[in-house]
Structure 1
Amino acid sequence: MLGHFVISRHDRRPARQGWRPVRLLRVISGGQTGVDRAALDVALELGLPCGGTAPKGRLAEDGRIPDRYPLVEGPSPDYNVRTEANVKDADATLILVLRKPLSGGTLLTCQLARRHRKPVAVVALDAEDAVAQIRRFLERTRPETLNVAGPRESSSPGIGDRARLALVSALGSG
């Protein structure tokens, strides 16, 4: 069943003991710097299939998205078109941020997930239990394709490294 899922500050229970990673078939993102690239890097590191839709021309804030990321080019250079394609292509969307409230493309991603009735979780990486929140979301939604999104590196310095650490912990075997 698809629906909305936003982790509330009251849902802070630890992930259950003996947690085993949910079997994801694919991790997707739009390839932007920051959270998007961290998700793709972790998927490649863990041997998970990955991909997603990039803007036409593989545009990102630092130039062209490197070819090592297996993304397809969308029909438009508009980031919003790419964002919607990735939301629609996924079973669920995980948004990683350093702090709330959401803004810009990160806010749009959340709005599009709700519009398309896809489960979405917004996890603040500065939360003590961020990894447990990610794991709970994956346990509850059990997506085969997970869209991972969040701020670009220039708007949230350090977000890529923080997202990478959380995703390795949440998606890895431990």
Structure 2
Amino acid sequence: MDLGGRAGEGSHPPRILPVEERIAVVSGGQTGVDRAALDTALDLGLPCGGWCPRGRRAEDGPLPGRYPLRETPTAAYPQRTEWNVRDSDGTLVLHRGRPRGGTALTLRLAGRYGRPALAVDLARSPEAEAVRQWIARERIARLNVAGPRESEHPGIHGQAARFLHDVLAHN
């Protein structure tokens, strides 16, 4: 789905959601989009968690302890990806260009599990409000957030974190 427009344009002033309306963020802890999702959730005081590979494996070494993730039985990334899709109400994939590798796998798994999924191309200046409406329409309480790692798309952590803050900190 193509979400055009610039994030934050014409939006209302930020308002942190009441606790009973807060969404839980699920992610796998890899650098890039996964880490941006967890960092944003922690910054906003949102519940967060998810699965990571055994040994807390990530491309930059073991995942820091501040991220409250559980380890899968294997060190393989696909199992982590599948379990995060399976254990969530819906998946938001943030990417640049065409999703590939683990990012594309995430979208296929969402289809296999019958979970709603929304792919947002950050290179197209998406609108945070459209994502908020999708979350509300699909009644997502546990949102899996996934996308490429930082080494594949340098700067995507910061870009994803800014976008996610706009999505999750507004009503």
TM range, smaller chain: 0.7 to 0.9
Give distance in 2, aligned partners of 1:29 and 1:57.
Answer: 16
Structure 2: tracts of 5 or more residues without a match: none
Aligned to 1:27: 25
Is contact 1:24-1:145 (8 Å) kept?
no
Aligned to 1:75: 73
Aligned to 2:102: 105
Asked if 1:116 corresponds to 2:113, the answer is yes
Residue 94 of structure 1 and its aligned partner are, at CA, apart by: 0.2
Provide the secondary structure at the position in 2 that maps to 1:61.
coil
Give the TM-score of the pair, scaled to structure 1. Answer: 0.86
Residue 17 of structure 1 and its aligned partner are, at CA, apart by: 7.4
Is contact 1:93-1:118 (8 Å) kept?
yes
| Offset from partner CA, 1:35-66 (integer Å, 9 cap, x none) | 00000000001110100000000000000000
Aligned to 1:173: 170
Q: CA RMSD for the aligned pairs?
A: 2.4
Residue 173 of structure 1 and its aligned partner are, at CA, apart by: 2.9
Q: Which has the higher helix share?
A: 2
1:149 equivalent among 119, 138, 146: 146
Provide the secondary structure at the position in 2 that maps to 1:33.
coil
Give distance in 2, aligned partners of 1:163 and 1:8.
Answer: 16
Q: How does 1:11-22 map to 2 (within 5 A)?
A: none
**What is the letter of the counterpart of residue 89 of structure 1?**
D
**What is the letter of the counterpart of residue 118 of structure 1?**
R
Provide the secondary structure at the position in 2 that maps to 1:126.
helix
Provide the secondary structure at the position in 2 that maps to 1:48.
coil
Give the TM-score of the pair, scaled to structure 2. Answer: 0.88
Aligned to 1:64: 62
Q: How many residues align?
A: 165
Provide the secondary structure at the position in 2 that maps to 1:64.
coil
| Offset from partner CA, 1:59-100 (integer Å, 9 cap, x none) | 00000000000000111100000000000000000000122x
Residue 132 of structure 1 and its aligned partner are, at CA, apart by: 2.7
Cα 1:167–1:17 shift into 2, 3 Å = closer
Provide the secondary structure at the position in 2 that maps to 1:113.
helix
Is contact 1:35-1:163 (8 Å) kept?
yes
- Runs of 4+ aligned structure 1 residues displaced above 6 Å come to 14-20
Provide the secondary structure at the position in 1 that maps to 2:42.
helix
Is contact 2:54-2:74 (8 Å) kept?
yes
Structure 1: tracts of 5 or more residues without a match: 1-6
Provide the secondary structure at the position in 2 that maps to 1:122.
strand
Give distance in 1, aligned partners of 2:149 and 2:78.
Answer: 14
Give distance in 1, aligned partners of 2:11 and 2:33.
Answer: 28
Name the % identity.
Answer: 47
